[in-house]
Structure 1
């Protein structure tokens, strides 16, 4: 998957535990574990916003996009007339 979860690095930098953040944002430890491992299919913007508020970060600090070559559209060809 081209989206990488970088939450662990933010937790370490902030010296916080996943359990503490889960409790403060109102999700279960299981949900937090699934997010940290990248095994979630989706994430509510409200949950992401609460996570960013607690961790004092931006969404881009928690998520990293690294496209697979198969995910990129073919380049547009320029046609000369």
Structure 2
């Protein structure tokens, strides 16, 4: 996959746990964990916006395009 998910980095910067963030954003800890580990194929903009609001970051801080053709 060419999109790298850096949710764990942003969570660490804000010192927030998976459980706390899931409660604040209103999605299950399981779904948030899947997102954090990159095991999802899609994310709703409303979910991304809620995460960004809680972590006080931009979507580009969480999602990053990685060109894997240069490897």
Does the alignment reach a TM-score above 0.5?
Answer: yes
Q: Structure 1: 5+ residue runs without aligned partners? A: 71-81
2-side partners of 1:2 and 1:11: how far apart?
21
Shift of 1:68: 2.4
1:25 aligns with 2:22: no
- Structure showing greater radius of gyration is 1
Q: CA RMSD in A?
A: 1.2
Q: Structure 2: 5+ residue runs without aligned partners? A: none
Shift of 1:19: 1.1
Figure out how many residues of one structure are paired with residues of the other and give that number.
Answer: 70
What's the TM-score, normalizing by structure 2? 0.92
Structure with greater proportional helix content: 2
